[in-house]
A = this chain, B = another copy of it.
Amino acid sequence: YINSERLQSWLTDFAKIGGTPKGGVNRLTLTDLDKQARDWFVVLAKKAGCSIKIDAMGNIFARRSGEDDSLNPILIGSHIDSQPLGGKYDGIYGVLAALEAVYSLNDHKIKTDRPIDIVSWTNEEGSRFAPAMIGSAVFSGLTSLQEGWACTDISGKTIGEELKRIGYAGKDNFLSYRIHASLELHIEQGPILENNNELIGIVTGALGQKWYDVEFIGMALHAGTTPMDVRQDALIGLAEAVIEINTIGKNEYPDGRATVGMVKNTPNSRNVISDKALFSVEFRHPSQEGLDRMDQQLSKKIKQIAEKLNLKFNITPILSLSPLHFDDTCIEVVRQVSQKLNYPHRTMVSGAGHDSCNISKIAPTSMIFIPCVKGVSHNEEEEIKPEWMSAGANVLLNAVIDLSKR
């Protein structure tokens, strides 16, 4: 078993790095706060005897040696970055539980056959820099390093620049590094486990995703002097699109999702008709056909709206992930361990994307979920119970020991 007090105290301490008045965390990727949390993670990992490597995307790997370091490692971990008004468990819980697993192995003087790499991925959230999960995407060879470095935040700064600025543009090259198995522990971010009084989610796969930027372009004119019938109001285009996109999601109920989360209006002045309305769109679906259907609907509706309102438009793809199934062996190990530890559990599909989705393309991978209160996540009020925290970390610890023997 892991040491729950230690894990809890780390969680409490990391929650202070970017802590918000309402008990959440604002620790956007590659900010000074992210650097502070990274630095401290490195200190804690070194204390456990780990050696540190950092790749060109700023992904951090802390290795605990095994009996035979020529064997491919077990990879465990998650991400340190947060949403702008996010919770104190999303991501960081998986990183600190992985660290706790290594501390526990040290405490119990257990040496695994294989080395263990604790990983913290760069820019999982996709909030400051889109797309999400770009650190693991570059690591997995799904995206080029050039593309990764070029991702730009709303103020024009790139991931490449910001990595250098905070000192996490590493030189270690992991593209040739082979992983025996990869596990990520995370909060569910949905209500299913809690509603069913279950402690562990055995994650068998994840919804596919498609993200876009859509922009309507109209004409800025004086709101007081311009009659209603001659306007080309880009914000009306946005409004109609938001409603259509919501309908696209509802038509794919219960597992399809459609969300506009980000908007940027120009010139955004009270008495000026909008000439540019930019917004994000994201679709999620368990099937590729479902995603394609949503994609087609989007193009059709945006075109119709633009024609009706006499606007121009652009649709830019930002992220595309197929629905995926994790590795059956990894899934089975998590199931067996949950059973052995007597934790009520269920198999489930993740609605959220995770770095594990990318890693699953290059290594046997699965995930472990614990409940979060009322399914609330990407919200400062995100909360977990101590027994959930311990259960997840115990499953991780035991699954790592099991996988290392295989």
Contacts and interface: CB of A to CB of B under 8 A. Distances in A.
Interface of A: 83-85, 125-127, 130, 132, 188-190, 207, 209, 211, 219-229, 233, 235-236, 238-243, 246, 249-250, 253-254, 256-263, 265-275, 280, 282, 284, 350-353, 375-380
B236 A266 contact: no
B263 A235 contact: yes
B266 A85 contact: yes
B189 A224 contact: yes
A225 B261 contact: no
Given A262-B268, A269-B378, A270-B126, A257 B226 contact: yes
Given A211-B270, A275-B379, A284 B224 contact: yes
A238 B260 CA distance: 12
B265 A262 contact: yes
A260 B282 CA distance: 25
A268 B84 CA distance: 9
Task: Say what secondary structure dominates the interface of chain A.
Answer: loop
A263 B266 contact: no
Contacts of A351: 222, 224-226
Given A188-B225, A224-B352, A253-B228, A84 B261 contact: no
A100 to B, nearest CB: 25
29 contacts: A85-B266, A125-B271, A126-B271, A127-B267, A189-B222, A211-B270, A220-B380, A221-B379, A223-B257, A223-B261, A223-B282, A223-B284, A224-B284, A224-B350, A224-B352, A225-B350, A225-B352, A226-B375, A228-B249, A228-B258, A233-B246, A236-B242, A236-B243, A238-B239, A239-B246, A261-B271, A270-B282, A273-B378, A275-B379
A27 B169 CA distance: 40
Contacts of A209: 224
A343 to B, nearest CB: 21
Contacts of A268: 84, 261-263
B257 A375 contact: no
A214 to B, nearest CB: 12
Given A222-B377, A236-B246, 11 more contacts: A84-B269, A221-B377, A222-B352, A224-B350, A225-B375, A228-B254, A229-B254, A239-B240, A239-B243, A239-B246, A271-B352
Given A228-B258, A257-B226, A379-B275, A127 B220 contact: no
A250 B228 CA distance: 6
